[in-house]
Amino acid sequence: MVALQNRIKAVVQALVMIIIFFPGWINAQTNYPQDYFRPPVDFRMLLSGTFGELRAGHFHSGMDIKTGGVSGKNIYAVADGYVSRIKVSATGFGKTLYITHPNGYVSVYAHLSRFNKNIAPYVKATHYQYESFELNVYPDKDEFPLKKGEVIAYSGNTGGSNGPHLHFEMRLQVSQTPVNPLLFGYEVKDYIRPEIHWLKVYPASSGGRIDGNTEAKVYQVDGWGEQHRIKDYDTIHVSGDFSLGINTWDKLNDASNKNGVYRIELYADSTLVYSHDLEKFDFAESRYINSLIDYHDYVDKKRRYQRTEIDPNNKLSIYHKVVNEGVLHFNKSGIHYLEYVVTDFEGNVSRLPIVLMNHNAKLLIGELPPEGSVHFLHNMKNKFQAEHFEMSLSGTAIYRDMWFEYDTLSMPVGTYSRIHRIHNDRTPVHKYYDVKIVPDSIPDDTSKLLLARIPDKGDYISYGGTWDDGALKSSLRSFGDFVVLIDTIPPEVNSVNIASGTIKSDRKTVKVKIEDNLSGIKKFKATLNGSWLLMEYDAKNSLLTYTIDERLKKGSNIFTVELTDQRDNTIIFKKTLVRE
């Protein structure tokens, strides 16, 4: 009896501690139905991606469920409802189903290989109705009613997926806001604490210093279990205001993937001064991830620091307690104690204590702006003009004030303009801005001109553009080096499995590879014996695939693919297919 009482007492104490230290976590758990939805798969869920995970230019809007490296696993409706949307795309989510449920939520199933036997004929007929591979349709409410546990589709690797898996989302029906699916009671084994690897401290006032430096300083972090420590440093010395950034990730049991953490908190002298968590976010704010992270370090080293400082044009809703916009200021000189607390969804915690010596000495004069730079303000329309170049940014295109730099470099061989160095690609841009460039050399056919970015590695990246009044105009969403090129070369279509033209009786598909050397694929049209033909487009592998059906007659058939790039260069591929 005593043993039982002690166990009950221990459980109660544990619950009290959780409520004290993680009250938001408890509230978030209870705000969502816990026993309404079943899993979308019939096997143990191992995740390769978690909700809110930091991705390139966006937060991950669902959870990625591993399917053993194969396609074709049964995917189930998580509750009663109806198919409210079907989307098919060569990129992004690929083949996707949306199910609306009567309790105000929408479940989303993406990267599917195929739909179930009831939905598939409808989708195929719709492809032919609109003569388009890309689809975004909203069936009537009574078209496809579904029961909880009904097989709706099969897992796959379509769209922008890098390997077979199911991308699964839960959304609020009224706003389509994605919500962390784990909040709905799904069980995922996770006894592993988050890992903290790097700390970065940034001066936030003119003349501020971090360990005597005017620039941000990086510290390597060691540790195992709950407690972490800064390697080789007992105390960090600061002068002036400062902010911090932390590089951290989480791992789940039986999976090697580096996943996102759920909550990050920062305490200063035992007072909470910063916190954010990934309960939910709106798609419209997802790109603000470029303001949350240290974008410069991400571009340079592919390392993501989640910063405490909130830029003026950062509109993320994930923040909770934030003092002084995430910038720390101490009135008194002397020792101060900071602590990062990083928590995963299951409540596993890692801590990084920081001992900081604040020096209230007179600040030195800060660094002067770069020579020739122009001050751009985050809350005003900014314009810049130079020889052969003009640009205009809206008041919300940049996250904070900046000193804008522009330069030109000599014209590369085979191009039509000098290189226009528009600031640098280490500075993020939130919204598109307009540029106008007058080429140094103008060809006879200006409709083939385009603006391209020169990456650090690899080929030119086309940003298109239109010719108007003696200049090439385009809209850009990044800074960097740009040059005017011309694309007069048609794209290519090549046989994959039909070189001989003979289609044996056991053949299941017809495949061709489509590629373009510069401006990119604009559109394609396949026909069989003069009629439009559905070919599935796998953009990441540059493949068009026709699944053989009754349209391919026995004997000779005329198969064509008309392919056009973004500069309207066109090629027509024609092949006689003989079905045995």
DSSP sequence for 261-295: PSEEEEEETTEEEEEEE-SB--GGGGGGHHHHB-H
Residue 393's closest CA among 287, 316, 477, 315?
A: 477
- C-beta separation of 548 from 506 below 8 A: no
Pairing of strands 536-538, 543-547: antiparallel
- C-beta separation of 292 from 278 below 8 A: no
What per-residue confidence (pLDDT) applies to 1? Answer: 47
CA distance 252 to 359: 41
Confirm or reject CATH 2.70.50 for domain 195-359, answering yes or no: yes
What per-residue confidence (pLDDT) applies to 12? Answer: 41
- 492-579 folds as Immunoglobulin-like (2.60.40)
Per-residue model confidence as pLDDT tens for the chain (580 residues): 444 444 444 444 444 444 444 444 444 555 899 999 999 999 999 999 999 999 999 999 999 999 999 999 999 999 999 999 999 999 999 999 999 999 999 999 999 999 999 999 999 999 999 999 999 999 999 999 999 999 999 999 999 999 999 999 999 999 999 999 999 999 999 999 999 999 999 999 887 899 998 999 999 999 988 999 999 999 999 999 999 999 999 999 999 999 999 999 999 999 999 999 999 999 999 999 999 999 999 999 999 999 999 999 999 999 999 999 999 999 889 999 999 999 999 999 999 999 999 998 665 555 678 899 999 999 999 999 999 999 999 989 999 999 999 999 999 999 999 999 999 999 999 999 999 999 999 999 999 999 999 998 889 999 999 999 999 999 999 999 999 999 999 999 999 999 999 999 999 999 999 999 999 999 999 999 999 999 999 999 999 999 999 999 999 999 999 999 999 999 999 999 999 9
What per-residue confidence (pLDDT) applies to 363? Answer: 56
CATH, domain 374-486, list 3.30.465.10, 2.20.28.10, 2.60.220.30, 3.30.70.2190? 2.60.220.30
What per-residue confidence (pLDDT) applies to 205? Answer: 85
Burial per residue of 200-214, b for 16 or more beta-carbon CB atoms within 10 angstroms, e otherwise: bbbbbeeebbbeeee
Ramachandran class of 159: left when φ > 0, alpha when ψ lies in -120 to 50, beta otherwise = left
What per-residue confidence (pLDDT) applies to 457? Answer: 86
pTM of the shown model: 0.92
What number of CA atoms fall less than 13 Å from residue 546's CA on the CB side? 25
Greatest pairwise CA separation for the chain in angstroms: 95
CA distance 105 to 98: 10
For tokens 């069936």, name the residue: 139
Strand locations in 18-155, DSSP E?
47-49, 54-55, 58-59, 63-66, 74-76, 81-88, 95-100, 105-112, 114-115, 135-137, 145-146, 151-154
CA distance 114 to 220: 46
What per-residue confidence (pLDDT) applies to 365? Answer: 57
- C-beta separation of 24 from 320 below 8 A: yes
For tokens 């990441």, name the residue: 540
Burial of 5: CB neighbours in 10 Å, binned 0-12, 13-18, 19+: exposed
Domain range list for the chain: 47-184, 195-359, 374-486, 492-579
| Main-chain phi, psi angles of 385, to 5 degrees | -140, 135
What per-residue confidence (pLDDT) applies to 14? Answer: 44
Q: Which architecture characterizes domain 47-184 according to CATH?
A: Distorted Sandwich (2.70)
